[in-house]
Structure 1
Amino acid sequence: MDGDEAIAWAEYGTPVELPTIHHRKGYDATKTADPDYRITCVFVDKRHRRQGVTELAITGALDLIAQAGGGRVESYPHDLTNQTKKMSSSFLYNSTRRLYERLGFTYDRPKGLKNCVMVKTVDPA
Structure 2
Amino acid sequence: MSFSTKPLDMTTWPHFAALVERHNGVWGGCWCMAFHAKGVGAAGNRAAKEALVREGRAHAALVFDGPDCVGWCQFGPTAELPRIKHQRAYREGLTALPDWRITCFFSDKARRGKGVAAAALAGALTEIGRLGGGSVESYPEDAEGRSVAGAFLHNGALAMFEAQGFCRNRRIGKYRWVVEKMVAAEGG
TM band (smaller chain): over 0.9
| 2:150 pairs with 1:89 | yes
2:160 is aligned, of 77, 91, 99, to 99
Letter in 1 for 2:165: G
What is the DSSP-based 3-state SS (H/G/I as helix, E as strand, rest coil) of the residue aligned with 1:72?
A: strand
Distance in 1, Cα, partners of 2:78 & 2:185: 19
Per the TM alignment, residue 111 of structure 1 is displaced from its structure 2 partner at its CA by 1.3
Unaligned residue ranges in structure 1 (runs of 5+): none
What is the TM-score of this pair, normalised by structure 1? 0.93
1:66 is aligned, of 108, 129, 132, to 129
Per the TM alignment, residue 3 of structure 1 is displaced from its structure 2 partner at its CA by 4.7
Unaligned residue ranges in structure 2 (runs of 5+): 1-63
Which segments of structure 1 move beyond 4 Å, counting only runs of 4 or more? Answer: none
Distance in 2, Cα, partners of 1:19 & 1:95: 18
Amino-acid identity (%): 40
Per the TM alignment, residue 4 of structure 1 is displaced from its structure 2 partner at its CA by 4.5
What is the TM-score of this pair, normalised by structure 2? 0.63
Letter in 1 for 2:102: I
Rg bigger for which structure? 2
State how 1:1-125 maps to structure 2 within 5 Å.
1-81=64-144, 84-125=145-186
What is the DSSP-based 3-state SS (H/G/I as helix, E as strand, rest coil) of the residue aligned with 1:47?
A: coil
What is the aligned length? 123
Distance in 2, Cα, partners of 1:85 & 1:42: 20
RMSD value over aligned CA atoms?
1.2
